[in-house]
Structure 1
Amino acid sequence: MSSTTSEPTDPHRRGPGRPRGDADADRDRAIRTTGGLAVLLTNRPDLHGVHPPADLAFEAIRWTA
């Protein structure tokens, strides 16, 4: 009986692409995404209630402004 050792897989490992630790890019992306969401829901009130996490983010933005 032979034993084989395999390296454990890390479920949180990033794949190829954007390097880890790019905080400025992460912050810019979050601002664009959240800001775009706020503008969209302001211009299209009929979209409220379609995606509850979007409504939560919109309310968070509205009440912190």
Structure 2
Amino acid sequence: MVYQRIREYLEENGITQAFIAKKTGMTKQALSDSLRGERNLTAEEYLSICHALNVDVNTFDLAKAG
């Protein structure tokens, strides 16, 4: 799932959810819920997360999962 890949990326790179929430304008709770799979990310939120991480929008594409 995309949310799992984002969560793993944050953990692997030492990036906090608080940092991403601030950069994207999401609440910490909304981001946390999304990264646990309890809430769906909107397309706008997903794009904001990719922008905040400075990664291509295809970075978390499941079709590229190894």
Q: Which has the higher contact order (CA 8 A, sep 6+)?
A: 2
Q: Which entry has the higher C-alpha Rg, 1 or 2?
A: 1
Larger helix proportion, structure 1 or 2? Answer: 2
